[in-house]
Chains A and B, each alone.
Chain A
Amino acid sequence: MVNYIFDGTFDGLMTVIYEAYYSHQHPNDIFSEINHQINFLGHDVFVSTDIDKSNKVQHAIETKISNKALRNIYYAYLSELESSYMLIYRYIRLGFKIGKKIDYFIQNDIVHEVTKLSQKVRHEAYKMIELIRFKEVKKGLFIAKIHPDYNVLPIIMPHFAERFQDQYFIIHDEKRNLSAVYDKKAWIITDIPLQDISNMKDTEDYEILWKMYHKSISIEERKNLRLQRQHMPKKYWDMLTEKQ
């Protein structure tokens, strides 16, 4: 029984899976080195990320289990919960045993946990797609700030890159200090700090128009603030132009 330590990347986690399988050393636990304190009692194994091995594992998951399983694994990983790594390991083991059937084996606790976690991450990604607000900080450059519970930038970027093909934009994750940058051709996620992002302002007046629209479209006789909060949780209000 060993503890596997990896660099925190998805490829790193997949490499751990590879090593655990081929060395026949079942993990006691799996840690990301970002959070892990070296434990003198246990037996720690540092796994260095290997893209080839990662690709092999991902390919095996896709062919021997299913595409849906691979997506569940990736989304569960993006939750960044320390407990998710072992959960993912157990899920993959089960998947290699029972195959595609895992997709509807929801009665099983491991499958249920992974599915639930994956759903939570997907749900928050969807909320971001709905609620992100861009500001045009310079002619033709749009910036949005977010602080999601989970690391959803990689999930939402394809959506915005497809949609805003003709504009430069940046989505900045304040919690993780990551910025997703799109240059009208492709997007990347980087941790290079942005300048002066704290007090950026929209250079045009559309925010005022939007607030007016938001107020006018509501029907007073049907007022229901609870329902509004249910769809637009308060923790995201600081992102919303109409709530400022």
Chain B
Amino acid sequence: MDLLKKIRILADAAKYDVSCSSSGSDRENKNSGIGNASFYGICHSWSEDGRCISLLKILFTNICIYNCSYCVNRCSNDVERALFTPEELADITINFYRRNYIEGLFLSSAVYKSPDYTMELLIKTVKKLREEYNFNGYIHLKAIPGADVNLIRLAGLYADRMSVNIELPSEKSLKLLAPQKTKESIIKPMSFIHNQLMEKSESKKLMRRTDKFVPAGQTTQLIIGATPESDRTILKLSENLYKYYDLKRVYYSAYIPVFNDNNILGMTSPPLLREHRLYQADWLLRYYNFKADELLTEEEPNFDVSLDPKINWAMKNLNLFPVEVNTADYNMLLRVPGIGLRTANRIVKARKAAYLNYDSLKKLGVVLKRAKYFITCNGKYYGECEIETDKIKNKLLPKRNVIEGQLSIFDIDNTLNNLPIIV
């Protein structure tokens, strides 16, 4: 089978994995080899669905022994199958990299023959890249659920980032849709990686040089909308993953029906807006010091998709507003809709130099369209309506009610514009 065909089949089979990030590692180009990693990550292209392409995201093979019903690669599905060799993959990676198409490799795989056997193939490929080709670019490796921890340790020495996908947000859904996988087989490698990372950071204190072990940490992915979990369940799960496993990212993937199956809720189009709101809420957890319980309650376990989660929260806590931009502390500024991380930083610095007036807020990057309802500037309120939920909501709701397709982060919430580049 020729390479072109393999790429067609195995890129197509990898496309449902959301992560394509190349951030978090600052691996240097040593020994005058090829490649280095940029700490903030670099995108190199965008596909027609608007998603960034940073890494060569591909499966080693889509030949699978499992039969998970949410997955396009399940063994009972009638699709074309292909299998790379480590040489082929290493060669494509290097040659794409030299042409500046990609930032590195994101290698995943279906479970071929056995979890251990598959893991060994992945390791063989990245070992070749690092040792034979002298490649110092970014490598993201999937930890195959069920693989021996010693193999995962070995893989972690070559990779910048590793991930184990949880996919289904509850054990019940896992049993229903992926009966051959267990919660145990997912959590075990995740906690193993976490423990290794902690061990490394301990030994760094004692030794001058230690080997790098997944310097960019680990991530995971949850499928949204294939099973009936609420936003609250999902967000609480993410919060715990950040807290107990110190994950770098949790990705959310709106479920795209790959074929009709009795197990899966009757759905037609992927819940993209819901996915978008979860990402926004995820950002609030990681960068804005919000707690999942503040954003969603048991009585209202799902987001109002017409408004972003920060506005949702502000609406429920109007008694805290408006805040005076010239005096409010940093943490309160962060909670104002329309003020992001970078803007809050700028405000705190700029008001040392001079009093801020309303016009200068725009220069500092405040999105006044949203912020004006929640702030005062030198004591004056610019919201042009009373501070009441209905009146503000009325002004904030978009004119068009239907928003189609994948949303652009930058249209919906300019506050995200102010984040460091993490893709």
What is A's interface to B at a CB cutoff of 8 Å? Answer: 101, 103-107, 112, 129-136, 142, 144, 162-167, 184, 202, 204, 206-210, 212-228, 230-232, 240-242
Q: Is B170 an interface residue (CB 8 A)?
A: no
- Contact A231-B43, Cβ < 8 Å, known A105-B353, A163-B29, A165-B33: yes
Least Cβ–Cβ distance between A17 and chain B, in angstroms? 24
Are A204 and B95 neighbours in the complex by a CB distance under 8 Å?
yes
Rounded to whole angstroms, the CA-CA distance of A199 and B3 in the bound complex is 27
Least Cβ–Cβ distance between A82 and chain B, in angstroms? 24
Are B134 and A166 neighbours in the complex by a CB distance under 8 Å?
yes
**New A-B contacts (5) at CB < 8 Å, excluding given A105-B353, A133-B100, A206-B95:** A134-B99, A166-B34, A217-B47, A222-B272, A231-B43
Q: Which residues of B have CB within 8 Å of A214?
A: 45, 47, 53
Q: Is B397 an interface residue (CB 8 A)?
A: no
Q: Is B223 an interface residue (CB 8 A)?
A: no
Q: Is B101 an interface residue (CB 8 A)?
A: yes
- Select which of A104, A134, A218 is within 8 A of B100 by beta carbon: A134
- Select which of A209, A227, A240 is within 8 A of B92 by beta carbon: A209
Q: Which residues of B have CB within 8 Å of A107?
A: 350, 353-354, 356-357, 360, 363-364
Rounded to whole angstroms, the CA-CA distance of A236 and B71 in the bound complex is 37
Q: Which residues of B have CB within 8 Å of A164?
A: 34, 98
Least Cβ–Cβ distance between B379 and chain A, in angstroms? 18
Are A227 and B363 neighbours in the complex by a CB distance under 8 Å?
no
Rounded to whole angstroms, the CA-CA distance of A241 and B44 in the bound complex is 12
Are B363 and A231 neighbours in the complex by a CB distance under 8 Å?
no
Are B100 and A240 neighbours in the complex by a CB distance under 8 Å?
no
Are A225 and B100 neighbours in the complex by a CB distance under 8 Å?
no
- Contact A106-B45, Cβ < 8 Å, known A134-B100, A206-B96: no
Rounded to whole angstroms, the CA-CA distance of A23 and B285 in the bound complex is 57
- Contact A106-B346, Cβ < 8 Å, known A163-B36, A209-B7, A228-B47: yes
Are A129 and B42 neighbours in the complex by a CB distance under 8 Å?
yes
List the one stretch of B200-208, B304-312, B403-411 in contact with chain A. Answer: B403-411
Within 8 A of A (CB), among B44-103: 44-53, 56-58, 92, 95-96, 98-101
- Contact A222-B36, Cβ < 8 Å, known A104-B349, A209-B4: no
Rounded to whole angstroms, the CA-CA distance of A219 and B99 in the bound complex is 24
Of chain A, the residue at the smallest CB distance from B50 is A227
Rounded to whole angstroms, the CA-CA distance of A213 and B350 in the bound complex is 46
Q: Is B8 an interface residue (CB 8 A)?
A: yes
Of chain B, the residue at the smallest CB distance from A225 is B48
Are B45 and A223 neighbours in the complex by a CB distance under 8 Å?
no
Rounded to whole angstroms, the CA-CA distance of A139 and B45 in the bound complex is 25
- The digit string for B381-423, where 1 denotes a CB below 8 A from any CB of A, is 0000000000000000000000001101010000000000000
Q: Which residues of A have CB within 8 Å of B96?
A: 206, 209-210, 213
Rounded to whole angstroms, the CA-CA distance of A154 and B23 in the bound complex is 24
- Pairs A-B, 10 closest by C-beta atoms: A227-B50, A104-B349, A218-B47, A224-B50, A216-B11, A107-B360, A222-B49, A218-B48, A216-B12, A224-B406
Are B98 and A136 neighbours in the complex by a CB distance under 8 Å?
yes
- Contact A231-B353, Cβ < 8 Å, known A106-B364, A135-B99, A163-B36: no
Rounded to whole angstroms, the CA-CA distance of A224 and B254 in the bound complex is 15
Of chain A, the residue at the smallest CB distance from B356 is A107
Rounded to whole angstroms, the CA-CA distance of A165 and B32 in the bound complex is 5
Are B34 and A213 neighbours in the complex by a CB distance under 8 Å?
no
Q: Is B217 an interface residue (CB 8 A)?
A: no
28 contacts between A and B (CB under 8 A): A104-B346, A104-B350, A107-B350, A130-B45, A135-B99, A162-B29, A163-B36, A164-B34, A165-B33, A165-B34, A166-B33, A202-B99, A206-B99, A209-B4, A210-B96, A212-B4, A212-B7, A213-B56, A215-B8, A216-B15, A219-B51, A222-B50, A222-B406, A223-B49, A228-B50, A231-B43, A231-B46, A240-B45
Are B49 and A242 neighbours in the complex by a CB distance under 8 Å?
no
Least Cβ–Cβ distance between B368 and chain A, in angstroms? 15
- Contact A226-B50, Cβ < 8 Å, known A104-B352, A206-B95, A241-B101: yes
Of chain A, the residue at the smallest CB distance from B360 is A107
Q: Is B319 an interface residue (CB 8 A)?
A: no
Rounded to whole angstroms, the CA-CA distance of A207 and B405 in the bound complex is 29
Within 8 A of A (CB), among B339-382: 346, 349-350, 352-354, 356-357, 360, 363-364
Of chain A, the residue at the smallest CB distance from B361 is A107
Q: Which residues of B have CB within 8 Å of A219?
A: 15-16, 47, 49, 51, 256
Are B32 and A166 neighbours in the complex by a CB distance under 8 Å?
yes
- Contact A136-B356, Cβ < 8 Å, known A228-B47, A232-B45: no
Q: Which residues of B have CB within 8 Å of A222?
A: 49-51, 254, 256, 270, 272, 405-406
Rounded to whole angstroms, the CA-CA distance of A223 and B346 in the bound complex is 36
Are A217 and B57 neighbours in the complex by a CB distance under 8 Å?
yes
Q: Which residues of B have CB within 8 Å of A206?
A: 92, 95-96, 99
Are B50 and A130 neighbours in the complex by a CB distance under 8 Å?
no
- Select which of A106, A208, A220 is within 8 A of B360 by beta carbon: A106
Are A227 and B46 neighbours in the complex by a CB distance under 8 Å?
yes
Q: Is B14 an interface residue (CB 8 A)?
A: yes
Q: Is B337 an interface residue (CB 8 A)?
A: no
